[in-house]
Amino acid sequence: MNNDERFNPYVSVNAEEEIVISGIAGQFPNSDNMKTFQNNLFNKMDLGSKDHQRWTNYIYEIPPRIGKMDNIEKFDAEFFNISAVEAHTLDPGIRMLLENTYAAIIDAGVNPAELQGTRTGIITAMTISETYVDVIYGKPQVAGLPILGYNKNMLANKISYWLNVTGPSYNIDSACSSSHFAMIEAYNLIRSGICDAAIVASFNLCIHPSVTQQFYSLGALSDDGYCKPFDEKGAGYMRSDAATAIYLQKAKNARRIYATFIYGKTNCDGFKEEGITFPSLDKQKILMKEFYKECNVSPLELSYLEAHATGTIAGDPVELQTIDEALCIKRDFPLLIGSVKSNIGHSEAASGHCQIAKILIAMETGIIPPTIHFKHPRKDMTAIIEGRVKIVTEPTEWKGGYVAINSFGFGGANGHLLLKSNPKIKVNETNNNLPKLVVISGRTKDAVKIILDDIQSRSVDVEYISLLHHIYSGNIKDHPYRGYIIAGSKINDNAIIKRRCTLYTKRPICFIFSGIGTQCFNMGK
């Protein structure tokens, strides 16, 4: 094979072959889904919890706050064909990723059955399972199953097994940059033709106090449990939970496009005099300079940069200096930057996906969520003081274009991503006012009602309804509840029924012609 035949990730591709984010789902501190997360970000909420009750009467001195997700003990085991016994020996993070993977696929307008047998890759990102030691070594009487439910190597495989997909399936661990490295790995797998699409999923759970105590002893965490990126009072971060899943496809296959994944690149610091946990200004600069040369995009085209920025004394100044020297040269207007960690703290292995979630919210709403807890920059942050960089502290209009995202692992694994907002103009059909039948299904009556209520609360959105048609045109296994609504009708016509969960063949649509008398309302009934 000569050099021209090898996969070259830098070569541009036509629009249909571009890789896009078509689905996303996530749970974040005090935010059960993307919609709640969006509202909390725009309301400038600090989503940390002091009375989290994850541990009590702990003997070591540790920060009082963590970013806590709710309902981690809940799981619909039957839907994922998992026995109750096995469900109790699954890491709660694995349970949450299964549920969020399903939600991300649905968000992309895809019925999970469509993926069976496909070369869909599953790349997960997880560093520490804080329940592993307690279960593996503390409960030897539960033989066999815990080794399947708490090992890193099973994280991606559980998802592949449930979906019955045959693409590459493995976990990536590069500490805080794990989810970025997983995104870049999935990008390269699709570009090289090894898989047709990919699900990238990550989680972080703060369950065991000893892990938090170790990070605190290392000097990474703030004493008060608040995360204040760029601010002179920032002295570390708050640890936090997160569980996310992102669906990547080629543009030609996507039914929804949130953003185009332009490029991703990584490098490693290597040896540093200061120590392995300290950042490297030189290596971060090399990464960014090579990055924009390879993808043929000028840093001057950046509309916004979502920084890694954890609020640490060692990390933030180096990152900001890197941004200034690598990206802000020749700019005649300030580069807008921010950090979602100001709201939710640092979710470590899953933090890159939290950054992406914030960016997609900005792209969908047209507003960049603000960074909170920033009042006065550190004295060594000259890029902010001299106006080459501006921290977004208020909801700010998103004007489209390119967004850069930084993520740095504390062992020296650096990652940089570039996304571009979807420029497509929303479809408005000429027959938009015609009523449209929408049929859906769900695990519970409440689940169906939530979707029906959501449809009813919107004006008729033909693209959204088209996604629902794609999802529910075939049966979703173990969805016992069915519901319908006539969207756009002046008459409130909807119903929910329960039927037996049995597999059935897809039946043809029947059209009923009522003959003479069709002018009478409800004659068809």
Start and end residues for every CATH 3.30.70.3290 domain found in the chain: 436-498
Check residue 504 and give its pLDDT: 47
pLDDT tens readout for residues 95-133? 999 999 999 999 999 999 999 999 999 999 999 888 877
Least confident interval from 126-140, 293-307, 401-415, 479-493: 126-140
Q: In one letter, which amino acid is 389?
A: V
Mean pLDDT of the chain: 89
Over residues 52-70, the mean pLDDT reads 87
2: pLDDT strictly greater than 50: no
Is 0.95 surpassed by the pTM of this model? no
Bridge partners for 407 per DSSP: 415
Check residue 4 and give its pLDDT: 41
Joined tokens for residue 397: 């209009």
- Look at residues 162, 50, 144, 156 and name the one whose alpha carbon lies nearest to residue 102: 162
pLDDT tens readout for residues 445-472? 999 999 998 888 888 888 899 999 999 9
Start and end residues for every CATH 3.40.47.10 domain found in the chain: 15-421
Is 308 an annotated catalytic residue? yes
What is the architecture of the domain spanning 15-421?
Answer: 3-Layer(aba) Sandwich (3.40)
Over residues 340-361, the mean pLDDT reads 98
Residues 6+ apart with CB under 8 A from 242: 26, 27, 28, 29, 67, 69, 202, 203, 204, 344, 347, 350, 351, 353, 354
pLDDT tens readout for residues 431-440? 566 788 899 9
Check residue 501 and give its pLDDT: 53
391: pLDDT strictly greater than 70: yes
- DSSP single-letter state for residue 522: T
Burial label for 408, CB within 10 Å (0-12, 13-18, 19+), is: buried
The confidence band for 509, taking pLDDT boundaries of 50, 70 and 90, is: confident
C-alpha angle 265/267/270, rounded to 5°?
175
Distance CA(24)–CA(42), nearest Å, equals 19
Is 176 an annotated catalytic residue? yes
Distance CA(301)–CA(162), nearest Å, equals 42
Annotated catalytic residue within 180, 195, 328, 346: 346
Annotated catalytic residue within 180, 208, 308, 416: 308
CB-CB contact of 243 with 93 (8 Å): yes
Annotated catalytic residue within 176, 227, 328, 354: 176
Is 416 an annotated catalytic residue? no
166: pLDDT strictly greater than 90: yes
- DSSP single-letter state for residue 79: G
Check residue 1 and give its pLDDT: 40
Could you please state the CATH topology (level 3) that the domain comprising 436-498 is classified under: Alpha-Beta Plaits (3.30.70)
Distance CA(66)–CA(333), nearest Å, equals 37
The confidence band for 429, taking pLDDT boundaries of 50, 70 and 90, is: low
pLDDT tens readout for residues 36-46? 999 999 999 99
pLDDT tens readout for residues 280-335? 999 999 999 999 999 999 999 999 999 999 999 999 999 999 999 999 998 999 99
Q: What is the CA radius of gyration of the chain?
A: 24
